[in-house]
Chains A and B, each alone.
Chain A
Amino acid sequence: EDKVVQSPLSLVVHEGDTVTLNCSYEVTNFRSLLWYKQEKKAPTFLFMLTSSGIEKKSGRLSSILDKKELFSILNITATQTGDSAVYLCAVGEQAGTALIFGKGTTLSVSS
């Protein structure tokens, strides 16, 4: 079964809207949760979260982790067409090297 589940799978919004992307996980020994943005090329790193309740912020993007409820959200405010991409969530486990990726959320921002 999937250990990292992202929702929604796809989303279409208008420029200026605010969106929230979700990532829930179920792993034995959690170490970190990462968010990536993928346009028509390689995924680029956005955030890494390891502690609950501490918001990471970069411009219009922010993310927070809830280790009790086992999920993270990625918020994008005042969306722009350049935010159109696939957003990937991945989880790292203790004593592990490889990340476990979700299937991604495809965000389309229309002008």
Chain B
Amino acid sequence: DVKVTQSSRYLVKRTGEKVFLECVQDMDHENMFWYRQDPGLGLRLIYFSYDVKMKEKGDIPEGYSVSREKKERFSLILESASTNQTSMYLCASSSEGDTQYFGPGTRLTVL
């Protein structure tokens, strides 16, 4: 079974803090993705990576950066957290096909 894990299920941070969200997959997938999910807006792609050290902006990259130093790990970084980044963050991975496997999500609250 594919397993995608995220470092935290719930996280509370203060405005201006630097926030790291980590995602690890154990199936040697090439592709990894970060989404945020908000009521009424659905899943929106922030960044994705198709190989180590490679990254592509998604639909809403502003205020975020990513890092992929190892194939199994994809990190999302909020350089200076703001209240409008309060959201559910979902990581996913996939191999050559389109089926993406999701982690359990991190619910981030920025106060």
Say whether B64 faces chain A, with CB atoms less than 8 Å apart. no
Smallest CB separation, B108 vs chain A (Å): 15
Say whether A31 faces chain B, with CB atoms less than 8 Å apart. yes
Smallest CB separation, A81 vs chain B (Å): 22
In the complex, what distance in Å separates the CA atom of A102 from the CA atom of B44?
9
Smallest CB separation, A13 vs chain B (Å): 21
Residue interface bits B21-57, CB-to-A below 8 A is 1, else 0: 0000000000101010000111111001010000010
Contact of B103 among A32, A42, A48, A103 (CB under 8 A): A42
Say whether B104 faces chain A, with CB atoms less than 8 Å apart. yes
Q: Which of A40-96 contact B (CB under 8 A)?
A: 41-45, 48, 88, 90, 92
Other CB < 8 Å A-B pairs besides A34-B99, A42-B104, 20 of them?
A: A32-B98, A34-B100, A42-B4, A42-B90, A42-B105, A43-B43, A43-B90, A88-B42, A88-B43, A90-B98, A97-B48, A98-B33, A98-B45, A98-B56, A99-B45, A99-B98, A101-B43, A101-B44, A102-B42, A103-B41
List residues of chain B with CB within 8 A of the CB of A104.
42-43
In the complex, what distance in Å separates the CA atom of A92 from the CA atom of B100?
11
Question: How many positions in chain A have a CB within 8 Å of any CB in the partner chain?
Answer: 20
Contact of A34 among B44, B48, B98 (CB under 8 A): B98
List residues of chain A with CB within 8 A of the CB of B56.
97-98
Give the residue name and chain of the A residue nearest to B96 (CB): A97
Contact of A98 among B58, B97, B103 (CB under 8 A): B58
